[in-house]
Structure 1
Amino acid sequence: MNSSIRSSRKRTVVYISLFLIVAIAGLAYVKWVPYWGKSLTAITTHSIGDSILGNPADAGSFSWEGTWSYVVTYFLAVWKAAVLGIILGSLVQVLIPADWLLRTLGKTSFGSTAIAGLSSLPGMMCTCCAAPVAAGLRKKNVSVGAALAFWLGNPVLNPAVLIFMSFVLSWKFTLLRAAVGMVIVFGVSYVANRFAPAAEPDGLDKMIEDSEEKPADGPFLLSWLKTMGRMALFIVPAYFLSVLLIAAVRPWLFPLLDGASGNSFLAILLFAIGGALFVIPTAAEIPIIQTFMTAGLGTGPAAALLITLPAISLPSLLLVAGAFPRKVLWFVSGAVVLLGVLSGLLGLFIL
């Protein structure tokens, strides 16, 4: 083994180690430590707090006060994770060697999708906060399936949320979420590769070769600050405006239903679509479902929300719109809504 190869491998190990140190420290502060306390709360009180949507009976019609109140509440809940997402999304682009990422996650095989999906489990981020990392992975030419699996796996298969759910809702909700979540993260993401432009034969090998030969783009710190600045310049305004928009239409996305209307196919469809459009912080689907069911919502629409609320949202789709082909995002959105509807129909009988 010549000296240049040894040097390259040593540099790869150092860069990946630095990234992991930042990721572990950030996630411990933003996610892991707070979730430990929330887990104890869920176990002892069978609750993790009030619904971010408030009482469904008090939702009423549109008001600027209600819209702004939701926007403020939402961003107070997610801003730390959102900042961490931008930091990690930019570090992926400048710190992790492209050839290593391409060899690990660059293929359209199920293996690359599975590795990315499993790698998402410690992240525990909501769909919007995971979006910058997914976009960063795509900037490094990671396959569509792998980037999607990482993006969707963060909110859908969040281990902490599954624990909360078992104590606040029931083990049946947890089992349904885990089963359908695996279909979304590993199945939908893998199939989504088919909706991306076909790569040329030997295309991956050429990209790896080019990335190995490409010289470093200036000093690391300067390159990172530039990348993070560009990312923040797009993400922050788009994020804020899209959350403001979706908060404004909130009263029409989740109408108060009870009795027969609260457990009908139409209710399941409406709540599946509303859940796929709406944006929430991590784990907020649990008190939302708990509150809605107390107000009379049936198990069918509740099961639909269980799947679609965390998986995607209009803001998160806008944040990754430049990273994925449009056909891919339409396919993912349609698949999430469909699986939400199927989960709702299943929920009529098992929940």
Structure 2
Amino acid sequence: MGKSSHDDGPSAAVGNVVVQDERESRPVAGSSGARTVVVAAVVFAAVAVAALTWAKWWPYAGKIAHALTTRSFEGTSALTGGARLPPAPSWHAAWSFTATYFRSVWPALVAALLIAAAIEALVPRGWLARQFARGPRRLGGSAAGGLVSLPSMMCTCCTAPITSTLRRRGAPPASALAYWIGNPTLNPAVLVFLAVALPWQWFGVRVVGGVLLVFGVTALVARLEDGRSVRSPEFERAPAEESLSPSAAVRRFGTALGRMLLILVPEYAVVVLLVGAVRGWLFPLETGPVPLAVVLFALAGSLFVVPTAGEIPIIHGLLALGIGAAPVGALLITLPALSLPSLLMVGRSFSPRTLVAVFAAVVALGVASGTVLVTL
């Protein structure tokens, strides 16, 4: 860890991450260095805007307009695949789920990989850490991370590559956690779908629970990362130096993208295949007493993987089967917020105790959500 943020030395601690002083962050190559940093920022913004427009903003603009016009949300339950009940574990169940899932998420996954690689190649470390640390210090950067997550509109798995890259580039733990959790739980498009597809009580619980989770829980849980600062020889260089050479930026982009394609994506696919195979076991339809059912559904929802807005058709389907509002209500928070694949994908970026704490907090909020909904 670096010196206290009150020190006058060349480095200071922002959140849990050691960053450089403003004097060290100035371009080292005069106007040429400053110009290169600006060009890198413009290129990164172009990549991010183009990727999100293609994968998220344009498609969801049409879906939002349709939902507002019809006052409904159309979608097939990933849990049952269009059938009435979840299938028994089998190879067919695994493959059909995985194929359907990736047909739904592949544009967002491609966009996430491109944005993550662009962050690695074009965004200076010290600058990134300082931007995410802005805002109330007691929130530890979660306010900035949560707000930045809103336009991304991704599911928890597609957000994972960007989250891991943010941590590797020096973003404080609270900021990275808030970005990761904020994408699926406070997705503006999904909130519109919830408002038209479910009673107002469900919409209200989702908004309140999402805000607590993104801006409160992440700030508290991030304190478990104390002593786990992000340091490397590259981190010690002035941020402008990383972008001075276009060839170096291209090389970093290719290396980052290749690493994710060769390691992260295959791991992701294997775990999705496993979850799809056993989804019939994850959600037992006969669970005994209501309190036990709420806990079991909260646990299952935190492990199961769904595409963006995939929780809505699952909730509709389970309610149609006669499952009570309390256990189904637990899925309102847990299904979008986390999944087993996303937890494993960010496993190298946070300590095990941090991820366990996040998982426990999501389950607890799911239980609370179900309990509140059954009383409204």
Structure 2 length-normalised TM:
0.85
**What's the CA shift for 1:213?**
7.4
1:277 is the counterpart of 2:303: yes
Q: Distance in 2 between matches of 1:147 and 1:240?
A: 23
Q: In the alignment, which of 255, 258, 261 is matched to residue 284 of structure 2?
A: 255
Q: In the alignment, which of 319, 336, 339 is matched to residue 313 of structure 1?
A: 339
Q: How does 1:201-212 map to 2 (within 5 A)?
A: 210-212=237-239
1:110 is the counterpart of 2:135: no
Cross-structure match for 1:72: 99
Q: In the alignment, which of 158, 174, 183 is matched to residue 145 of structure 1?
A: 174
> Any unmatched runs of 5+ in structure 2?
1-25
**What's the CA shift for 1:222?**
2.1
Q: Distance in 2 between matches of 1:289 and 1:194?
A: 34
Number of aligned positions between the proteins? 344
Cross-structure match for 1:119: 148
Closer/same/farther in 2, CA of residues 58 and 212 from structure 1, 3 Å limit: closer
Residues 56 and 292 in structure 1, CA contact (< 8 A), matched pair in contact too: no
Residues 114 and 186 in structure 1, CA contact (< 8 A), matched pair in contact too: yes
Closer/same/farther in 2, CA of residues 274 and 242 from structure 1, 3 Å limit: same
**What's the CA shift for 1:14?**
2.4
**What's the CA shift for 1:275?**
0.3
Cross-structure match for 2:49: 24
1:48 is the counterpart of 2:77: no
**What's the CA shift for 1:9?**
3.7
**What's the CA shift for 1:264?**
1.0
Q: Distance in 1 between matches of 2:166 and 2:375?
A: 40
Structure 1 or 2: more helix by fraction: 1
**What's the CA shift for 1:172?**
1.6
Q: Which amino acid aligns with 2:113?
A: I
Cross-structure match for 1:100: 127
Closer/same/farther in 2, CA of residues 6 and 186 from structure 1, 3 Å limit: farther
> Any unmatched runs of 5+ in structure 1?
none
Closer/same/farther in 2, CA of residues 295 and 111 from structure 1, 3 Å limit: same
Q: Distance in 2 between matches of 1:62 and 1:90?
A: 36
Closer/same/farther in 2, CA of residues 304 and 154 from structure 1, 3 Å limit: same
Q: In the alignment, which of 364, 369, 375 is matched to residue 338 of structure 1?
A: 364
Q: Distance in 2 between matches of 1:198 and 1:88?
A: 28
- The C-alpha deviation readout for 1:278-321, integer Å capped at 9, x for no partner, is 00100010111011111111111121101000001000011110
1:63 is the counterpart of 2:90: yes
Residues 201 and 373 in structure 2, CA contact (< 8 A), matched pair in contact too: no
Q: Which amino acid aligns with 2:204?
A: L
Question: In percent, how many aligned pairs have the same letter?
Answer: 41
* Farther off after superposition, 58-67 or 317-326: 58-67
SS at 2:141 equivalent: helix
Cross-structure match for 1:189: 218
Cross-structure match for 1:231: 260
Closer/same/farther in 2, CA of residues 150 and 215 from structure 1, 3 Å limit: closer
